[in-house]
Structure 1
């Protein structure tokens, strides 16, 4: 379907009826604390629901306990193999392109700030990384996996934020639409799918067209499980490009929340980099992947030497990929190393804990809510969409160009 400013405006009026009704009932009955306590023990698909779970929550969990009936499992397996082959690169793109893309949309940065734990700034990255790893495991949709319960809890988390902001009248629905509306949910889906693929392309990663499409397909499945109707989601990478470009053009810009969240992200990864000499590489990589305009909006520091040096990354990665192509042993070793690196990064972010995605009984006080594949047929990104005739000054794309 073609996306227009008018059709996108309509999506801003829609939330998630099922999850919203579930959360509203839990709050009305004073059952949120009981629900969160019991749900800490519910983390695997097929697990018996705990005794004492509120009935409305039990009904929601039963209704959302299976993947969509239309899933093509062959496509999902291709997506998993694509992830295995590119897991380090995908983790890099998620950290240094997708997350900053979230922060460059002011109202999204505001929402994230409302739920961010300042004493634990890595939580958002930990949740995103853990969620993606769960999705790409071979047993992601089988009994014993952690992905389906994670998706169910994330959906309720989004609904709880909508509940708080609307009940406390802290969000101008008439002007801004529903908080975490359908447009924003699809926008987030684009940031973690096509904008990740854009970042991989920017890094010079060789991706087959078939592999890229399968990876995007997996995120369509995720979107459906997070409450996005199939009729609203871009059907393929070409329509995803149209939606992503229009969404970013409509909303991206500078904000204090975005700059603060970006600073937290940079600080987090500078702590991971040994010593201090290489610290500027973090900012340089973000700037390289999202472009100077978006980076300036987010107050990403400039470092002329490192900003120039980072542009050699595609050459260095190309050498590794040629080695991987020409040697099965090297391919095996690099895949193993990639998996270990991704797991090490995730372990550092989560501090060895499982992220619980609990329903917040209140939002942050400072926000003001007090609560009661093959390498042939190489993929190249779809061309940029024509921007709409009207839009915010200085608007543009946040994904790699």
Structure 2
């Protein structure tokens, strides 16, 4: 039975993030946002002493959110890390060419990005997402000295500040669209970065185990909890995730001017990253292959001569996997290539800088050992659900 219905989803549209929203509202009411942003640039690693002069409400928030949920299964998180190591370049590809365009095929999400000037800075959003994921999948992600927890704390406040601005300045029709960055959309985003990534890896023909796929999804459940997602509402399993994602997309996906504009910006960005011009069409072809023709047409993704070529990618990856499975040296070389590709992709977006998350005052090789999947145990996605 599907636990998600239109009525239950509608209820999630009325709720934001009580803790982060209250913190941001107090900072603005007291005129302390500038001071907070200045001092928070020095808070980049977990366990570091908080700077003197930090507003009291911010200090309380940072202390309350300084640790992951007490229900985290660390064995499962280690499986997720190993899954990421083994598939890092494929996951980066899925995030870039499937997860991000999926955000743009939801018109009210594209509208929100447009209103917050996100349309002008796709590289910044992609860099923040990539860097956030890399921080998450490091061995020390939740230990003193890591960068992941402070990044999660800042992203949560960034979301709250967007809610604050849109509602205060009358730029968002809450009655029609619900609370900006509401619980339904936060869970939807979690599905895009977890379930949709797994779907894309499957579409690319990547060999995944049931255990690895479940662990990767579990890691994003932990992320969601740290970003203020209601744990009573979030899907607990891949089957429930399929139900939520299917209903969410049926409820909202469609064409929009903002979505097409942002997709064009993203394509231009990645064509700049791809050396030369000969391979430029592969960017559009990959988006079309991973999102499907209907979504790609809504986003006005151009059709190219590479659309057919890209369909051969699973066969090429299958050959590489065979090399990886049969040769320890080949496995090591491919893992290093994957790591370097992911790092170079991220570096091209960040221009070598560390991305800082701040509350806008106005709207304007240490990875470890590789993990291989036993042959014959391949993950298949849960079947599509029928929205009730």
> TM-score normalized by structure 2?
0.96
Give the alignment of 1:148-227 within 5 angstroms.
Answer: 148-227=149-228
The DSSP-based 3-state class of the residue aligned with 2:311 is: helix
User: Which residue does 2:319 correspond to in 1?
Assistant: 319
- Distance in 1 (CA, whole Å) between partners of 2:295 and 2:82 is 32
Aligned residues: 379
- Distance in 1 (CA, whole Å) between partners of 2:259 and 2:80 is 31
Write the deviation string for residues 24-58 of structure 1: whole angstroms up to 9, x where unpaired: 00000000011001101110000111111100000
- How far did 1:119 drift? 5.6
Give the alignment of 1:199-278 within 5 angstroms.
Answer: 199-278=200-279
User: Which residue does 1:70 correspond to in 2?
Assistant: 71
- How far did 1:275 drift? 1.4
Q: CA RMSD in A?
A: 1.1
User: Which residue does 1:9 correspond to in 2?
Assistant: 10
CA contact (8 A) 1:116 1:123 kept: no
- How far did 1:168 drift? 1.3
The DSSP-based 3-state class of the residue aligned with 1:229 is: coil
CA contact (8 A) 1:44 1:149 kept: yes
The DSSP-based 3-state class of the residue aligned with 2:122 is: coil
- Distance in 2 (CA, whole Å) between partners of 1:123 and 1:175 is 29
The DSSP-based 3-state class of the residue aligned with 2:312 is: helix
- How far did 1:337 drift? 1.1
- How far did 1:117 drift? 5.4
- How far did 1:120 drift? 4.0
- How far did 1:374 drift? 2.1
Q: Are residue 378 (structure 1) and residue 375 (structure 2) matched?
A: no
- Distance in 2 (CA, whole Å) between partners of 1:149 and 1:322 is 40
- Give unmatched runs, 5+ long, in structure 1: 365-372, 389-401
User: Which residue does 1:295 correspond to in 2?
Assistant: 296
User: Which residue does 1:44 correspond to in 2?
Assistant: 45
Q: Are residue 344 (structure 1) and residue 312 (structure 2) matched?
A: no
User: Which residue does 2:330 correspond to in 1?
Assistant: 330
Write the deviation string for residues 133-169 of structure 1: whole angstroms up to 9, x where unpaired: 0000000000000000000000000000000011112
- Distance in 1 (CA, whole Å) between partners of 2:8 and 2:330 is 49
When residues 120 and 10 of structure 1 are mapped into structure 2, their CA distance, relative to the original with a 3 A threshold, is closer
Write the deviation string for residues 104-148 of structure 1: whole angstroms up to 9, x where unpaired: 001111112233456643000000000000000000000000000
The DSSP-based 3-state class of the residue aligned with 1:122 is: helix
Moved more, 225-234 or 136-145: 225-234
- Distance in 1 (CA, whole Å) between partners of 2:363 and 2:258 is 15
Write the deviation string for residues 267-318 of structure 1: whole angstroms up to 9, x where unpaired: 0110111211111000000000000110011110011x21011100000000
- Distance in 1 (CA, whole Å) between partners of 2:262 and 2:192 is 16
CA contact (8 A) 2:183 2:230 kept: no
- How far did 1:328 drift? 1.1
